[in-house]
Chain A
């Protein structure tokens, strides 16, 4: 199993090298830092979403759910919309600056935790209720965002629109640094939860019997998921084509591929495997988009198309999971 992880690591290094050195037109002194920052962002976003999705699927005991079901991506667009709506054209200079990034990160984490607190109260601790409530709240957030967007000035709306899609065309090194500062400790904490997540995957009765009451591990995992998704979304925008997608297919694709590439119930294998695959898809995909297809199509659209097909396959072929 560890040889497969090494193979994935090799694949990641290969796509990273391809991303850095392929089709260079210009001085290396400019290209390397420019591409290096993008590479870092792609890896960070890939690892965050992959790890969060694997944890989320374990916590909810469902392999076709992803965190964005609970309206996380919707929160991001809502924050952006409220911001532009409130400040008007002044926001123009702020979108995609480190300041906006920090605001987004903080607000999203806070709102995300608030959302979870609310969901836990409404769902009275039951995962299924929590998820169903989350879906409804997610729809409410999206509808409210759409309502606000209809009221703002068309020119300002374009700002929101531009910020509402995942983008990797330019990455501010400062934003990347702040993101990494938050995400890396969260990833480390997720790694520390790996054995507890293994126990949790056995079901609530077995987990309690083995001395790991599910509530506590679930809470810890949900907080980490919140932070990880907030970093990824603030850094790259929602990885959902359009803000109305019912499910974040990127996380779904990554988690499903991790189960295929490294079939193991152990999170010590699954989480790094998913993170590596996430990095590979984003970096490899971005390389192909930028260097081969010359940005003819945004990456999320392709991920969404392939993810949709995979989602259907999983749904139709899945065993009792």
Chain B
């Protein structure tokens, strides 16, 4: 379980997060939604230890973010980086193999190779393993990054707006794979999403944030209401139900 206790964060004198307390139990997909500047990405980067915690505490199972060793945390919690941040000129296979680093410290063994082959196959990248990252499409690149996070073999996976710049087929493909990782492998996935409809369609739980506070929390059915659209997103978008799921009409 990821527990967040009394987390507050200030950037340049501007409060970003106000006293957030949130529990994310094992299993399932939790989507963080909210308007721009609500603090979703800050919250994610604090859990991911990309930003130093100023006030409050975050624990992942028995590990404390900021206090436990980086290696232990890396074996428990994977972060999928955004495409623009991955700079090296690498082959897909090499990138995915880097996911094993927390376990092998750069010296891959038989198990590591097997895990990498499995991750490549799962994300449909086996054929592309020898291609360079700048020779494949944006969707394939995103899959490669997801495959790397998968190869890391952690219980928890954090993703910050992974659907940016993806077309609908790539976006749905990625979300389906995440859904499968949660269902078949029991992984706990925390994902920041901009598109509420993707959150409604694929997440088990939605946490809506506004002005650095948690505005709503629960199953998509209960959270996505016209009132939430008004209060949190300042939008009069309608919500209708299709096949039993809430859908925001844009």
**In the complex the two chains form, is A213's CB within 8 Å of B88's CB?**
no
Q: Provide the residues of chain B in CB contact with A206, threshold 8 Å.
A: 79, 81, 85-86, 98, 148
Q: By the criterion of a CB under 8 Å from any partner CB, how many residues of chain A are at the interface?
A: 23
Q: Provide the residues of chain A in CB contact with B152, threshold 8 Å.
A: 209-210
Chain B's closest residue to A209 (CB) is: B79
Does residue A198 face the partner (Cβ distance < 8 Å to B)?
yes
Chain B's closest residue to A263 (CB) is: B89
**In the complex the two chains form, is B71's CB within 8 Å of A211's CB?**
yes
With A205-B50, A210-B99, A211-B101: A195-B106 Cβ-Cβ less than 8 Å: yes
**In the complex the two chains form, is A209's CB within 8 Å of B75's CB?**
no
**In the complex the two chains form, is B86's CB within 8 Å of A210's CB?**
no
Q: Which of B41-89 contact A (CB under 8 A)?
A: 48-50, 69-75, 77-82, 85-89
Q: Provide the residues of chain B in CB contact with A265, threshold 8 Å.
A: 88-90, 94
Chain B's closest residue to A61 (CB) is: B87
- Among B77, B78, B81, B134, find the residue whose CB has the most chain A CB atoms closer than 10 A: B81
Q: How far is the CA of A203 from the CA of B81 in the complex (A)?
A: 9
Q: Provide the residues of chain A in CB contact with B88, threshold 8 Å.
A: 201-203, 265
Q: How far is the CA of A205 from the CA of B94 in the complex (A)?
A: 17
Q: Which of A195, A202, A319, A321 contacts B81 (CB 8 A)?
A: A202
Q: Provide the residues of chain A in CB contact with B149, threshold 8 Å.
A: 209
Does residue A156 face the partner (Cβ distance < 8 Å to B)?
no
With A195-B101, A265-B90: A208-B85 Cβ-Cβ less than 8 Å: no
Does residue B105 face the partner (Cβ distance < 8 Å to A)?
yes
**In the complex the two chains form, is A205's CB within 8 Å of B71's CB?**
no
Q: Which of A174-202 contact B (CB under 8 A)?
A: 194-196, 198-199, 201-202
Does residue B27 face the partner (Cβ distance < 8 Å to A)?
no
How would residues 118 to 134 of chain B score, 1 for a CB under 8 Å from any chain A CB and 0 otherwise?
00000000000000001
- Among A196, A265, A319, find the residue whose CB has the most chain B CB atoms closer than 10 A: A265
**In the complex the two chains form, is A212's CB within 8 Å of B85's CB?**
no
Does residue A320 face the partner (Cβ distance < 8 Å to B)?
yes
Chain A's closest residue to B80 (CB) is: A209
**In the complex the two chains form, is A208's CB within 8 Å of B106's CB?**
no
Does residue A246 face the partner (Cβ distance < 8 Å to B)?
no
Does residue B102 face the partner (Cβ distance < 8 Å to A)?
yes
**In the complex the two chains form, is A199's CB within 8 Å of B101's CB?**
yes
**Closest chain A CB from B118 CB (angstroms):** 18
Does residue A204 face the partner (Cβ distance < 8 Å to B)?
yes
**Closest chain A CB from B43 CB (angstroms):** 15
Q: Provide the residues of chain A in CB contact with B102, threshold 8 Å.
A: 210-211
Q: Provide the residues of chain A in CB contact with B99, threshold 8 Å.
A: 210
**In the complex the two chains form, is B50's CB within 8 Å of A212's CB?**
no
Q: Provide the residues of chain A in CB contact with B72, threshold 8 Å.
A: 211
Q: How far is the CA of A61 from the CA of B86 in the complex (A)?
A: 10
How would residues 198 to 231 of chain A score, 1 for a CB under 8 Å from any chain B CB and 0 otherwise?
1101111110111111000000000000000000
With A204-B50, A205-B50, A265-B94: A211-B85 Cβ-Cβ less than 8 Å: no
Q: Provide the residues of chain B in CB contact with A202, threshold 8 Å.
A: 81, 86-88, 90, 95, 98
Q: How far is the CA of A209 from the CA of B65 in the complex (A)?
A: 12
Q: Provide the residues of chain A in CB contact with B148, threshold 8 Å.
A: 206
**In the complex the two chains form, is A208's CB within 8 Å of B101's CB?**
no
With A210-B98, A211-B70: A321-B89 Cβ-Cβ less than 8 Å: yes
Q: How far is the CA of A109 from the CA of B174 in the complex (A)?
A: 50
Q: Which of A52-99 contact B (CB under 8 A)?
A: 61
Q: How far is the CA of A231 from the CA of B75 in the complex (A)?
A: 39
Chain A's closest residue to B72 (CB) is: A211
How would residues 125 to 154 of chain B score, 1 for a CB under 8 Å from any chain A CB and 0 otherwise?
000000000100000000000001100100
- Among A196, A198, A199, A206, find the residue whose CB has the most chain B CB atoms closer than 10 A: A206
Q: How far is the CA of A210 from the CA of B78 in the complex (A)?
A: 7
Q: Provide the residues of chain A in CB contact with B71, threshold 8 Å.
A: 211
**In the complex the two chains form, is B90's CB within 8 Å of A210's CB?**
no
Q: Provide the residues of chain B in CB contact with A210, threshold 8 Å.
A: 74, 98-99, 101-102, 152
Q: How far is the CA of A79 from the CA of B207 in the complex (A)?
A: 60
Q: How far is the CA of A211 from the CA of B94 in the complex (A)?
A: 18
Q: Which of A198, A205, A321 contacts B106 (CB 8 A)?
A: A198
Q: Provide the residues of chain A in CB contact with B87, threshold 8 Å.
A: 61, 201-203, 321
Binding site for A on B (CB under 8 A): 48-50, 69-75, 77-82, 85-90, 94-95, 98-99, 101-102, 105-107, 134, 148-149, 152
Instruction: Pick the 3 closest A-B CB pairs, nearest first.
Output: A195-B106, A211-B74, A209-B79
| Chain A to chain B contacts (Cβ below 8 Å), 12 pairs | A195-B106, A199-B101, A203-B87, A205-B50, A206-B79, A209-B81, A210-B99, A210-B102, A211-B72, A211-B75, A212-B70, A265-B89
> 18 new A-B pairs (CB below 8 Å) besides A210-B102, A211-B69?
A61-B87, A202-B81, A202-B98, A203-B81, A203-B86, A203-B87, A204-B50, A206-B81, A206-B86, A209-B77, A209-B78, A209-B79, A210-B99, A210-B101, A212-B101, A265-B88, A268-B106, A320-B134
